[in-house]
Structure 1
Amino acid sequence: MSASNGKGPAPVTAGPECQAQVDPLALLRTPDDPPWDVYLTGPVFLDIIFTGLDSAPVRGTESWARGMGSSPGGVANMATALARLGLRTSLAAAFGDDHYGEYCWDALEQGEGIDLSTSRRVPGWHSSVTVSMAYEGERTMVSHGHEPPPETVFSLGGAPRARAAVASLTPGRRAPWIAQAAHHGTRVFADVGWDETGAWDLAGLTDLEHCEAFLPNAEEAMRYTGATSPRAAAHALTEHVPLAVVTLGAEGAYAVDRRTGETAEVPAIAVEALDPTGAGDVFVAGFVTGTLADWPLADRLAFAGLTAALSVQEFGGSLSAPGWSEIAAWWRKVQSVEGQDPAALRRYAFLERLIPQGEAARPWPRRRAVPTIGFRSA
């Protein structure tokens, strides 16, 4: 468990179940490595998720949901997904000094082993909250929050060294820590949200020049490049970033590596989605894990898609992120089902060397997420 003292990671036991942990970078580690594998910064929300709605809420009526989950959200989704995949993760964020902020801090530091030594509790500032309603495979969100005080803005100067960083780019706005991180040898992986300005100008993503990989969805990629297909958009993006990964929704994902000339496409895994909250973050976390571990491009895409598929079968964003026990249970399950496509099994055969011993007997499906912030102790 990380003590969050800034002196490097203690042994990590990820998740509330203290499940068996895999270190995907074990063969690559040296005494001179940075203390952390991944560094992130951004806003943390308390997410309250309602699932099992038959339809979208209707004005003037009351809707009842068949399920509910609560968990740290925002950048916490990505941080948790990375930590559960065995990466030593450090997060810089502002936390409110209310009960919501206390819960999120404890869930991340004590529950997930995430380093919060560069995070801050802000007196008199309340936590941001998002209510998410999932229905018909989609979701609707309502959020409330305020910008943290200026003195809580974080920069690389106060953050630990890391192998990689994950950044969410904002059109027209620079984040100075991204350039600083790249200058110090950190590999930056970037995603992007919807461009509310409607400009869709790649030149406005000024920090993209410092990034190793860019992972937009198909619609974002096509709008930014003007391409008529997601695959053409991926190739166009490599004029601006070495590695472009475009997620294709139900079709999977497509990637192009400009440095090697390699391309890869992996179809999505068909699952019954309970809640899509945080699935994109889990996909990025899976891809970052495979990249840092030097896996082939197709294996990275397959792993990212698998982790995202497993996440949508649970409530919430961070609490639904799978760990190695869930991945192992899925792999053993699909191997035991007759009539599986041999090509599909070969696609995920690389998991065999990664799965911890003794995981075969664990049941599938596995359940992790809990429905409330916490029960009062007896």
Structure 2
Amino acid sequence: MDVICLGILVADIFASPIDSIPEAGHLKLTDRLLLNIGGCAANTAADLRRLGRNVKVLGKVGEDLFGDFVLKDLERLGVDVSSVKRSQKHPTASTFILNVRGQDRRYIHCIGANADLTFADVDCSALDGARALYVGGYMAMPGFGSHDLTQLFREAKKRSLTTVLDVVIPAGNLLSPEQIESMLSYTDVFLPNDDEAYALTGLREPAAQADFLARLNPDCTIVITQGSRGALARLDREVLHASSFKVNSLDESGAGDAFAAGFLTGLLEGWSLECTLRFASAAGASCTRALGCTTSVFGFEEAVAFIRENPLEIKRMTPAVKP
């Protein structure tokens, strides 16, 4: 097993892009409504499979049709779902994603069974033999707090796994520097986007955000994604900023998870930070070409060919503060 993906599992319902929001009491037509797997753990696992990795998912779904769909679709892709739990209290998490042309996406979300997940649901033997542990959607799983994360990452470290953390930060859910330091203490790679990094640090510029986070754990690779503005990565004194690949973008949902899958692939391959950042950027860009979080993500050879044919500017930067 290459990677264990633990975190939020969601059934996503996407509306094809529309021109405007309907007024109250009005009906608006769209070309398509698509049911797809979603949530950081499910998306990243599916993308890793497309990139040729063996993956197991840990998480929780409800005893319902959406739960059946999520598990069957992951199985169809070759993801091991044998350790996914079923909640007896909550339905499967679900999200309705509304795309309006020229505007950012709108979400209506039911947190569902993701609220139930705790460290007690994790069979740590599932970590045996894996090379990396990815936790996606941390801070959006109410039952999975800092103590749960610390216990899980300690178990991963006992088995010499690389630990990768991604967060989803609900509005108003802020952490103190001490809480952030605790969150990063067993984390090898931290993958927030710039909005999430702002919520954690209070700083607007990604370079300053990375400086702040690097001081809390100098051994942690900090990677801050910026959507169409690219991504910044910092490890010790090496700081890189990648621009973004140009593709015909339809829907940006899941792009951060595809980026995470690409970054994990680079870690497993033992590539340099620059090569890993370039590959992750290609995977993230590929995700935006179709409706749905995982529909159009590159396979490994597709990504390599795309990178060969499409140069990406990556600049070296000087860190403002030594960690």
What TM-score bracket applies, with the shorter chain setting the length? Answer: 0.7 to 0.9
**Is the deviation greater in 143-152 or in 89-98?**
143-152
Is the contact made by 1:286 and 1:307 (CA closer than 8 Å) also made in structure 2? yes
Tell me how far apart the structure 2 counterparts of residues 64 and 153 of structure 1 sit (CA, whole Å): 45
Find 2:272's aligned residue among 296, 304, 318. Answer: 296
5 Å-filtered alignment, 1:124-143, equals: 126-135=91-100, 136-143=102-109
Aligned to 1:38: 3
Secondary structure, in 3 states, of the residue corresponding to 2:146? coil
Tell me how far apart the structure 1 counterparts of residues 167 and 312 of structure 2 sit (CA, whole Å): 32
Please identify the structure whose Cα radius of gyration is greater.
1
Find 1:174's aligned residue among 138, 142, 147. Answer: 147
Gaps of 5+ in 1: 1-35, 336-343, 348-378
Tell me how far apart the structure 2 counterparts of residues 228 and 282 of structure 1 sit (CA, whole Å): 24
Aligned to 1:232: 208
Secondary structure, in 3 states, of the residue corresponding to 2:160? coil
Find 1:103's aligned residue among 52, 69, 84. Answer: 69
Assess, with a 3 A threshold, how the Cα gap between structure 1 residues 99 and 229 changes in structure 2: closer, same or farther.
Answer: closer
Assess, with a 3 A threshold, how the Cα gap between structure 1 residues 202 and 191 changes in structure 2: closer, same or farther.
Answer: farther
Find 1:214's aligned residue among 186, 190, 210. Answer: 190
Aligned-pair distance for 1:113?
Answer: 1.0
How many residues align? The count is 300
Tell me how far apart the structure 1 counterparts of residues 117 and 207 of structure 2 sit (CA, whole Å): 41
Aligned to 1:369: none
Aligned to 1:199: 174
Match of 1:130, as an amino acid?
T
Assess, with a 3 A threshold, how the Cα gap between structure 1 residues 300 and 152 changes in structure 2: closer, same or farther.
Answer: closer
Secondary structure, in 3 states, of the residue corresponding to 1:185? coil
Aligned to 1:163: 131
Aligned to 2:223: 245
Aligned-pair distance for 1:295?
Answer: 0.9
**Is the deviation greater in 223-232 or in 280-289?**
223-232
1:79 and 2:79 correspond: no
Aligned-pair distance for 1:196?
Answer: 2.8
Is the contact made by 2:62 and 2:86 (CA closer than 8 Å) also made in structure 1? yes
Match of 2:274, as an amino acid?
A
Q: TM-score, normalised by structure 1?
A: 0.71
Q: Deviations over 1:16-60 (max 9, x none)?
A: xxxxxxxxxxxxxxxxxxxx1111222322111112211344433
Is the contact made by 1:118 and 1:158 (CA closer than 8 Å) also made in structure 2? no
Assess, with a 3 A threshold, how the Cα gap between structure 1 residues 199 and 327 changes in structure 2: closer, same or farther.
Answer: closer
5 Å-filtered alignment, 1:359-378, equals: none
Is the contact made by 2:282 and 2:307 (CA closer than 8 Å) also made in structure 1? no
Q: Deviations over 1:310-336 (max 9, x none)?
A: 10111111333332354366457x47x
Aligned-pair distance for 1:137?
Answer: 4.9
Aligned to 2:234: 256
Tell me how far apart the structure 1 counterparts of residues 45 and 122 of structure 2 sit (CA, whole Å): 17
Match of 1:105, as an amino acid?
L
Is the contact made by 1:68 and 1:315 (CA closer than 8 Å) also made in structure 2? no
Q: Deviations over 1:119-178 (max 9, x none)?
A: 234568643321111222521111225337679952252423221111133296332312
Q: Which has the larger share of helix? A: 2
Tell me how far apart the structure 2 counterparts of residues 158 and 59 of structure 1 sit (CA, whole Å): 52
Assess, with a 3 A threshold, how the Cα gap between structure 1 residues 286 and 125 changes in structure 2: closer, same or farther.
Answer: same
Tell me how far apart the structure 2 counterparts of residues 147 and 100 of structure 1 sit (CA, whole Å): 11
Match of 2:264, as an amino acid?
V
Is the contact made by 1:156 and 1:177 (CA closer than 8 Å) also made in structure 2? no
Secondary structure, in 3 states, of the residue corresponding to 2:156? helix
Assess, with a 3 A threshold, how the Cα gap between structure 1 residues 125 and 253 changes in structure 2: closer, same or farther.
Answer: closer
Q: TM-score, normalised by structure 2?
A: 0.82
Q: Percent identity?
A: 28
Match of 1:79, as an amino acid?
A
Assess, with a 3 A threshold, how the Cα gap between structure 1 residues 99 and 222 changes in structure 2: closer, same or farther.
Answer: closer
Gaps of 5+ in 2: 315-323
Is the contact made by 2:91 and 2:113 (CA closer than 8 Å) also made in structure 1? no
Aligned-pair distance for 1:210?
Answer: 0.6
Is the contact made by 2:134 and 2:165 (CA closer than 8 Å) also made in structure 1? yes
